[in-house]
Each structure stands twice: as C-alpha cells, then as structure tokens.
Amino acid sequence: MTTTLYRNGRVRSPADPFATALLVDGETVAWVGNEGAADALGADSTVDLEDGWLAPAFVDAHVHSTTAGLALTGLDLASAPSLAVLLDRVEQAARRARGGVVLGTGWEEDGWPEGRPPTRQELDRASYGGVVYLARTDCHSAVASSALLALTPEIDAPDGWVREEEHSVVRKAAFAGLTLPQRREAQRALRAHAASLGVACVHECGGPGIDGEDDFTALLALAREEPGPDVLGYWGELGGAVRARELGAVAAGGDLFADGSLGSHTACLHRRYDDEDTTGYAYLTAEQVTAHVVECTLAGLQAGFHAIGDAALTAVLDGYVAAAEQVGLDLLRAARHRIEHVEVPLPQHIREMGRLGLVASVQPVFDARWGGRGGLYEARLGWERTRDSNPLAALAAAGVPLAFGSDAPVTPLDPWGAVRAAVQHHTPASRLSARAAFSAHTRGGWRAARRDDVGELAPGAPATFAVWDVPGELVVQAPDDRVAGWSTDPRAGVAGLPDLSADDPVCRRTVVRGRTVWST
C-alpha cells in the first residue's frame, strides 16, 4: 500500500475542525490533522493543496447514465428557446447523422413562443424523413418521426407525441439502434463529467422499461473495469428482487414507476390537473407495492418506487404500511427503503415516511426550475397545491433521511446547484441550511444506499473526497437569521462551506477510495 499526504489546505473532517492536512494509506484515510504534525509523517508522495478545500465528494442519488451521456455527446435540447430553434437543431443533427437515428432530449414546450411540442410532420421535414426520437425534459413523453413510428405499428400517434406506455415502446425502438460502443461512449462521458464535478458515486436507476438489462449490466461492468465514480445499480422491476441480485444491483427499486411526471401530465393525482382534464396515470396498486416490499425486506434488499403525485404517494405508502404489518415495523425500517422524487406529498405522507424509516431521494433543482410563482408546477396544479412542493425542510423535520440527485438527463448533474436550490428554495419554510444540504448530497447519498462507512473524512473511513478551488472564505450559512451566534464564531469549530452567493467552487481533483479519477 502506498501513502499520500495532502497538505497545505483546508480539510472538512469531524475528526478535526481546523485540519489542514490528510494522509491516505491505500484506500483509507489514515490521519487528519494540521501542518505541524504533518511534518513528522513519512509519506510515499505529497500533494500540495495550495489552500484548496478538501471535502467529502458528492453522490448523485438518481441518474440514468446512458441517456445522460447521450445528452452530453449528442443532441441536448434543454437550451432550445423555441420550437423553431429545436427544429433547426434537429436538421443539423440529421445532416451529421447521415441517415442514422437522431436521439435528443431535454425539450420543454412550456415557455416557448409556440407553446406546443413539435409534430411528427415537422420532424419529418427537419430530418429529411429520418428516424427521430426526442424525449421531453422529464423523459415521460416524447415526439417521434413517421419513420420511427413505422417501426412500432402498434402505436397510434397521429401527431407523433407519445406518453407513458406508448412512449416506452417507441423509446425502446429508437434505442435499439444504439451499438454497444455507442452506449459505452455515453456511459464513459457521463462518468467523466460526474468526476469533473466532484461526484464520486452515482446511483444508476435502471429497469426493464428504461434501458434494459444489457445496458444496465454493461454500465456496472464498465465501472468495475475503469477508474471513475462508483456506480450503484438500482433495478426497478416489480417482484424483481431475485433478478436484481442476479444483475448485480444493490436494490430492487429506484425507478419502479408508481406514476409519471407533472410536466407530461402523467403524475397520479387525487384531483385533476388545472390545465388538462386528467388525473394522470397510476401504475401500481397498494397491494402490488406490499408484495414487492415484503419480498425485498425478507431478501435483505432495499425496495424503492418512483412516486411524484399525491395519489401515487398514497398508494405507495399504503403498500409500505401493509408490508410493515406483515414483516414487522422494525424489520421494515432496518431495510431503509426509498421513495424517489416525492414532489407534492401531503402532510400525512411526510409523517408516514418518517414513521416507516423511508429515505427520500429528491432533486432540489426541480424546485429551482419549476417551482415558485409562474412556474410549471403552478401551471399544472395551481398555487394552492404546489406552494409546498418539494418540502425539504418538512421531510427533514419528520426524520426522513434525504439524498440529493439530479435525475439526469431530466436536469443536468450540478451538485452545487442542487445545494444552492435547497438553501434558496422558493418557499422559505422548505429551505435547508447549507450544512444539511451539503450533507444530503454527500453523506446522505451513501446512507441512502446503506453504505454507512462513507461520506465523512475520519481515520479508518474510505478516502473518497474532492479538492476544490473556493472563491473567498468558508462561511456558516443557514436558511434564515435564526442561526445561533455561536455557530458563526470561528472558536466554535463549526465547519464552514463555500459561500453559495458567490461563484461555484471549481473541482480540482476527485479521489475515489484513494485513487485520483479526475484532476485538472
């Protein structure tokens, strides 16, 4: 085992709030302390931090690596300001593809001057009759060209817009043309991008209706073979505990869909949407949830469900309650099951999640992007139902562990943006302190995966961290002015964080279990 001494910096560690150096022995933190003591250590190599900030690396607790990687390497439409610009970008992509499939993601018709998605006829003209698949930003609906729809004759979509079950069929046909090298290129791009942002681990949320088994196992194999962020696989298949283990997944959960999304009007609600005559889609009954949770609990696996709308959350939590009655509350709590997204829970849902010991895997950037007055949430549901959407503080107060993620490619990997979104939530009562938000995006991601030994830097812990260039001083930040004066006094030893009102820190190095996987 080789030893590396990182010194002359600022180290975030519970072992020493004033630490300036850290010693790594192989894959493990061996020592944390100050410069005076560091002089006496004999290390095989030394890294001068040059006043950089060394802290636990981020975990993105909800990612779709191949699709997110394709957005990085291909046609990302998130910045398209109008339908006209989108069609122009499709034409350019079609010319580059030279007859190949055009895959794009990230478009959002809300806010466009045209106020509508493209039609298949428009895609046909823009692509010269090619095969085109464009996923809406939430990835729960898409538009497809006539050539792609011809590959799925069972789908009747005159305008090319497909949602939910039909969308899954069309998406599968579109992605069938991807070769293994193309998938590996996308997966490598996602892992490299994550590492460059100080992300040391991603939770891959796969499933039979997402990218399929071959894609899932190829990603896990790539993560084993090549350096980069760890990949923890979540396999979302109902009754799939055995299959999850066979595939190398850490859980039979993740994107096991109880409903769809608010943007596509497919999240399942108790009351109709304000802007469309529907209550969305329900994919699971409470009885199905119960059977899956019991199977997973007895097998020693986590269960997890995608649930956004209040009706979907009711079904999922009713299922968890019934499962607790069968296996016992203590055993169910010990399993540390999850719910993904939790965007518009009712107060009783939050209380029940705390009682059942469920983890909330959430995306704070959803509020920054779609919350607040005039946002998409208000357009879909009205202000009364959405002013308390993504209630981070209420979940934390109820004892619900939080793990932050991006749901990339729905929103890009942006860990500091997620921390800032949690601290600056549109609803003041839903805001977290910077310390709680940073913890949810670092230690919280490991705890959500039942890896309790990672996420803080102390002797004996895995040496997984990032080194940052931080503009300005580290500061103690709270969601409002109620913070006690002692916590901002340097003598208290409360660890500071980068000032979220300044420019984002720049990642200089990412280390996973002692191995540098990114450096500038």
Q: pLDDT tens digits for 66-110?
A: 999 999 988 989 999 999 999 999 999 999 988 889 999 999 999
Can you give the pLDDT at residue 211? 86
Beta bridge partners of 403: 361
Can you give the pLDDT at residue 489? 53
Q: What is the mean pLDDT of residues 465-480?
A: 85
Q: Is the pLDDT of residue 485 over 50?
A: no
Minimal CA–CA distance to 263: which of 107, 406, 418, 130? 107
- Could you tell me the fold of the domain covering 3-56+455-519? Urease, subunit C; domain 1 (2.30.40)
What's the whole-number average pLDDT of the chain? 94
Can you give the pLDDT at residue 36? 83
The residue extents of the domains of the chain are 3-56+455-519, 68-175
- Could you tell me the fold of the domain covering 68-175? Diaminopimelate Epimerase; Chain A, domain 1 (3.10.310)
Q: How many helices (H) and strands (E) does the chain have?
A: 20, 24
Q: Is the pLDDT of residue 177 over 90?
A: no
Can you give the pLDDT at residue 391? 98
* Confidence class for position 452, pLDDT limits 50, 70, 90: very high
**CA distances, 468 to each of 10, 53, 407, 455, 497 (Å):** 10, 5, 24, 16, 11
Can you give the pLDDT at residue 488? 52
Can you give the pLDDT at residue 41? 86
Q: Is the pLDDT of residue 194 over 60?
A: yes
Minimal CA–CA distance to 342: which of 328, 358, 331? 358
Minimal CA–CA distance to 282: which of 165, 137, 162? 165
Q: What is the mean pLDDT of residues 237-248?
A: 96
On whether the CB atoms of residues 118 and 132 are closer than 8 A, the answer is no
- Does 42 or 400 have the greater pLDDT score? 400
Can you give the pLDDT at residue 16? 92
**CA distances, 395 to each of 356, 437, 443 (Å):** 13, 12, 17
Can you give the pLDDT at residue 430? 97
- Does 228 or 176 have the greater pLDDT score? 228
- Show Cβ contacts of residue 39 under 8 Å, excluding neighbours closer than 6 positions: none
- Does 487 or 188 have the greater pLDDT score? 188
Q: Is the pLDDT of residue 487 over 80?
A: no
Q: What is the mean pLDDT of residues 168-176?
A: 91
Can you give the pLDDT at residue 148? 96
Can you give the pLDDT at residue 38? 84
* Confidence class for position 484, pLDDT limits 50, 70, 90: very low
- Show Cβ contacts of residue 485 under 8 Å, excluding neighbours closer than 6 positions: none
For residue 409, whether the previous peptide bond is cis, meaning omega lies within 30 degrees of 0, is yes
Can you give the pLDDT at residue 486? 41
Give the integer Cα–Cα distance in Å for 506 and 474.
14
pLDDT digits (tens, 9 = 90+) for 308-338: 999 999 999 999 999 999 999 999 999 999 9
Q: Is the pLDDT of residue 363 over 50?
A: yes
Q: Is the pLDDT of residue 400 over 90?
A: yes
